[in-house]
Structure 1
């Protein structure tokens, strides 16, 4: 089987400089390495903690550290990369200049109410705005999407996301006070990917819960997405399988009526060091073949949302794939999962 599949989004022909708002760990670990690899220019940084921004600027040879948010937002002809905490997103969006171009770190606010406020502010200010959902831009998922477009798997009829591993939640202390954790901060990636491939489900059944080993509100999730009678879509997420590597897993299984695919999300195994991503394809009745992947999720996939945003703003792309309009529906699915988790199950009949 020939495995000639597209693995990356095209780069913009004439990329704009980038001003980053917020200089937390994800910027140092993923945004800046990705932008350097792509050849994007970071023109300036701003953070409430100026010392942190200055240290990052020195490390990455960035010329400008802005002294205030107003100063940063007054920079003309740039794309704003907003990597601030989601609680700050609505007010930051409302401060944006008219017709600004910006990429907003996921999630799109802390709940659907905030997402709706963000969407309304983007509309009112005529912003070209996207959310930084990167899983759909990974090499493995770009290749999978291309395989689906070529008809290699036929119509998808069974999709399963299965995580059984150990996540070092101690790296994310800011999540401790949050009433919503696992779905909003982690499984949102899988829900967004599923939406990208299958569209919006009709309904959802879900449970999300914590674990005795953590004070976080939730770190385990089970969900069933309702796509009709002939399509099964499930998520089984456990971040506490602390019993060695042998039975740990981070995978997506896609089965169609003509073929199947298995994807390994390597970065989640022994995070943040991770393992290589993998993608395997098999035609119905045929052998499995591994797709040679050009890159992994971190940091390479962070190029994709920025490249798509820049190309869309320049008229080079007809679709802004993770626009706030589209991302609102991912937030609606997240909201539905939490509402389902709070709803009572069907009682078991008693004798």
Structure 2
């Protein structure tokens, strides 16, 4: 049996800043599933906010951000679903001592992330970052097997994404100097950290593609260095335009006693997706390894978003000291991302020549 996700004893009202696609497709469906009440929503485009309010029975559409701040219930959780460039300015307006869930990434670079961290400390915010893959049902199942000792010591994490991503769905990305690692592979960097802690260092190369030349990098290789006995590799290619036959999207965990392979169907044939899959194997003496499948209820979208918000609510009510996804922890995911970009810019070790 996989233990259920820990939910708060109390569910304070949520006010949402931003009404983009991620709010429509993930935040609001997740909150409905969890019975988390949404008190109101604001977006610079009033029609988008009103559309979501109608679709999800949200009682209040605020005319402006100051109106949302002024009229939000005193115990509200602020769900800040905005581009990274808007986070700092928005946090400055949030009442001191408030609880808030901040859309990833935690700023556009490590400098902004540090400013966000210092501001959250100064304002004593109960602040979490929406690195929700940590709480996807399949990840929780894998973590349970690991915590039960069934997989042994975790020695290998491999994440391989070879898909065709329709980047045009996120038009703001076309103006940014950083794309793939900051907005996609960051999920996997954070996930690896959630299992193995902070790495000793990062090796990375992130590249563009001629068919997506308007974007910054859209393919990445990232090695997270955990010493001589643990391997952690992230490989992403968003440009596989050759049909579903050889698309793949998986997370593989290998321990000394067993292994898990999770298929992330959401990313294949996006946004329609294909079914997820959860396979695992546990070694038994004098027996050939037998892979088995486990039925997992729920998927990355929208179910993982329940866990990200639940952590903030649990901390706000005092059931835990800090959210698992607190700004105090997630700053290190941003540090890893910054190191990856630095490694990519520095390049590899030159090979000898002149033979």
Counterpart of 1:29? Answer: 25
Q: What SS does structure 1 have at the residue aligned with 2:220?
A: strand
Counterpart of 1:252? Answer: 251
Tell whether the 8 Å contact from 2:276 to 2:299 is kept in structure 1 after alignment.
yes
Counterpart of 1:156? Answer: 154
Q: How does 1:265-304 map to 2 (within 5 A)?
A: 265-284=264-283, 285-304=288-307
Offset of 1:52 from its aligned partner?
2.0
Which of 170, 192, 196 is matched with 1:172 structurally?
A: 170
Offset of 1:11 from its aligned partner?
1.9
Counterpart of 1:54? Answer: 50
Distance 1:282 1:61 in 2: 44
Q: What's the CA shift string for 1:271-308, capped at 9, x where partnerless? A: 11112222211113531111210111111111111112
Offset of 1:319 from its aligned partner?
4.6
Q: What SS does structure 1 have at the residue aligned with 2:61?
A: coil
Tell whether the 8 Å contact from 2:160 to 2:248 is kept in structure 1 after alignment.
yes
Q: How does 1:84-233 map to 2 (within 5 A)?
A: 84-214=82-212, 215-233=214-232
Q: Which moved more, 1:274-283 or 1:289-298?
A: 274-283
Q: What's the CA shift string for 1:98-141, capped at 9, x where partnerless? A: 10000001111111011000000000000000011111101100
**Gaps in structure 1 of 5+ consecutive residues:** none
Q: What's the CA shift string for 1:26-54, capped at 9, x where partnerless? A: 11111111111111111011112223212
Offset of 1:202 from its aligned partner?
0.4
Tell whether the 8 Å contact from 1:138 to 1:297 is kept in structure 2 after alignment.
yes
Q: What SS does structure 1 have at the residue aligned with 2:279?
A: strand
Q: What's the CA shift string for 1:210-252, capped at 9, x where partnerless? A: 1011121111001111100111111111111111212110011
Which of 314, 317, 320 is matched with 1:311 structurally?
A: 314
The alignment's TM-score, normalised by the length of structure 1, stands at: 0.96
Distance 1:50 1:179 in 2: 29
- Equivalent pairs, count: 347
**Gaps in structure 2 of 5+ consecutive residues:** none
Distance 1:49 1:103 in 2: 21
